[in-house]
Structure 1
């Protein structure tokens, strides 16, 4: 690694306590390396300037101004080389790794259950017993009962780790079990590694310990044709390790173990440029075109459809960049803002929902804006209802994530 303008890859960075000292944890959301790095704050200050724009000399000058000591150019290059070895730097090494991963993904017959054995049990029997318990009161909604006449058009379910949010998932999927007559499920997931376009599809079935959930390639091809010239497969590899759709596929196969479930997996990228400009996403060419194409594809297909958005709400606390403590007053403010967003969702008002996020530059870091917004514009519901609102707090990283389950008819 010899570049005079070192560039680190997009990584997750958050503070943790380790042996009584606060360090910064670096993790790869793209899943191209299993390495997790713990770096001191002084080193993180250097890494923050590994953006391909600051030269090594720029970094030296800034470091001296900040800390009053000299950091040699050789040391900076050594740091960059070590990060490159760990596959955290942009360059030839990671380009080769990325290409190999892409070829392996494209050649695989199915999209593997990437988080089985980590976020949930890999053994089908143990997994079913574990998921059964999510439905049990007092946290769960009770086991699914007999079906109801009201046709479900869509749900919002979390994508938080199942170990922390399992019962909240159960509230949404009990509604699917009891009120959905869908032949096809269209699943919108947050594309944490989708950075270039607003949407990314795959034609691959999603495997689960209960068996595969079949990607409806006929519908996907029809949608792709209507979306031209958008390239919906440019970032297909974003599906490779993304959990936001995997968890929804898992619950669908849990509910329908003996049925060939057909679904359309759609990863949704960031709307940050539109949020910054306070511009309606539907008014942009790419998003507006996709929304219209999806509406037309659903109408033309003619089957009964249920849409699913796998999303989380607020991400707050030190881990996510907030400087102050998570006091009761702070958490009440977060909950109040979530309530306003939920009111917009129950009213099926996509633009009002987007406005609650864009007006303050997404300061609560809603993880699913694009998924929810797209679903609201395409599912054709007339009623929305909150089923469950919850949160999980991680004292180690001084952070909190909020999430909800909702149903739309």
Structure 2
């Protein structure tokens, strides 16, 4: 059994040829990096933060992260940290996942071992209707067209002991002698009445940028505690704050020394309407 795609035809094209063109246009978009990944894969990255909205909005921002991934050495596994918009607890998926490009293989051995060591349950129901990990997969397939690769999808929720999960991931990777690239899926500020978040009504664009930059500053310092404190203090509507914090903690155990913002913009910059807008950031960790 595979986990079927649920937001194809909504967040991204359901036809494989159209999807390929859509992703290619994200790279070449004026909000994107401007070019496809080079064919030289000699970079070493530990992880990325990238958004999970519809490709028409967040795709060009995602493309910055996936350009780095596509130019990096192929790892044994991509570990994806998503969230549960439905409120499920932290859990692992060991099913293979399907997109319009085909099947994405999950590293079942790694998932089962991590579950055994950490106590994180394997819960396919929690992953079944959650889009935050799914929308990363077509981009992963796009930049790995000629490579076999595996993923390990993990929902990181409010119940997570982030430092312990990071330690268990590190130990599981060490024991299996596997390399990885980490991907944390998150949008940033959700502003507007429909999101229940209107802390300012003037200079919305500037204030959204300022609010999100405050959070990004702590990500760039690889300080998950202060990042989470900031989101709490500001009541920030960063949906994937726990996946981001898990990424930071795991990255540090894997030797991360720095993080860098590659791109930030909001849906308002595309629509020229900030009354209901979402912030998107692409961040790389090395």
TM-score (norm 2): 0.90
Q: CA deviation at 1:371?
A: 0.1
Superposed CA deviations along residues 36-94 of structure 1, whole A, max 9, x for unmatched, are xxxxxxxxxxxxxxxxxxxxxxxxxxxxxxxxxxxxxxxxxxxxxxxxxxxxxxxxxxx
Q: 1:144 aligns with which of 28, 33, 37?
A: 37
Query: What displacement does 1:306 show?
Result: 0.3
Contact 1:157 1:172 in 2 (8 A): yes
**Following the alignment from structure 1 to structure 2, what is the Cα–Cα distance between the partners of residues 220 and 289?**
16
How far did residue 247 of structure 1 move?
Answer: 0.9
Aligned: 1:204 with 2:79? no
| Match in the other structure for 2:213 | 339
Q: Is 1:389 aligned to residue 280 of structure 2?
A: no
Which of the numbers 161, 169, 185 marks the counterpart of 1:310? 185
- Evaluate the alpha carbon distance shift between residue 191 and residue 131 of structure 1 in structure 2; reply closer, same or farther with a 3 A threshold: same
Is this contact kept in 2: 1:153–1:180, CA < 8 A? no
2:101 and 2:47 map into 1 onto residues whose CA distance is 23
Instruction: Decide which of 61, 66, 70 is 1:177's aligned counterpart.
Output: 70
Partner SS for 1:386: strand
Aligned equivalents of 1:174 and 1:288: distance in 2?
Answer: 29
Output the TM-score relative to the length of structure 1: 0.64
CA deviations over 1:8-53 (Å, ceiling 9, x no partner): xxxxxxxxxxxxxxxxxxxxxxxxxxxxxxxxxxxxxxxxxxxxxx
User: 1:222 matched to which residue of 2?
Assistant: 113
1:292 CA displacement: 2.1
Give ranges in structure 1 of 5+ residues lacking alignment: 1-108, 272-280
The answer to whether the 8 A contact 1:189-1:265 is kept is yes
Q: Quick one: structure 1 residues 137 and 397, their matched pair in 2 at CA, closer, same or farther if it must change by over 3 Å?
A: closer
- Tell me what 1:357 maps to: 231
Paired residue secondary structure (2:194): helix
Q: CA deviation at 1:288?
A: 4.1
Q: Which runs of 4+ in 1 moved over 6 A?
A: 394-397
Is contact 1:151-1:181 (8 Å) kept? no
Deviations 1:108-140 (A, max 9, x none): x10011112222222211211111111114222
Contact 2:162 2:249 in 1 (8 A): no
Alpha-carbon distance between aligned partners in 2 of 1:118 and 1:268, rounded to the nearest angstrom? 24
Q: Is the 8 A contact 1:180 1:306 kept in 2?
A: no
Larger RCO of the pair (alpha carbons < 8 Å, separation 6+): 2
Distance 1:395 1:364, change over 3 A: farther
User: What's the offset of the Cα at 1:169?
Assistant: 0.9
- Distance of 1:308 and 1:301 partners within structure 2: 20
CA 1:192–1:293: 2 relative to 1, 3 Å: same
Task: State the shift of 1:324 in Å.
Answer: 6.6
Would the aligned equivalents of 2:26 and 2:55 in 1 still touch at CA under 8 Å? no
Q: Deviations over 1:365-387 (max 9, x none)?
A: 11111100011111221121111
| Aligned residues between the structures | 280
Cα offset, 1:287, TM superposition:
3.9
SS in 2 for 1:164: helix
Structure number with greater Rg is 1
Aligned residue in 2 for 1:295: 170
Q: Give the SS at the match of 1:185.
A: strand
| Higher mean displacement: 201-210 or 254-263 | 254-263
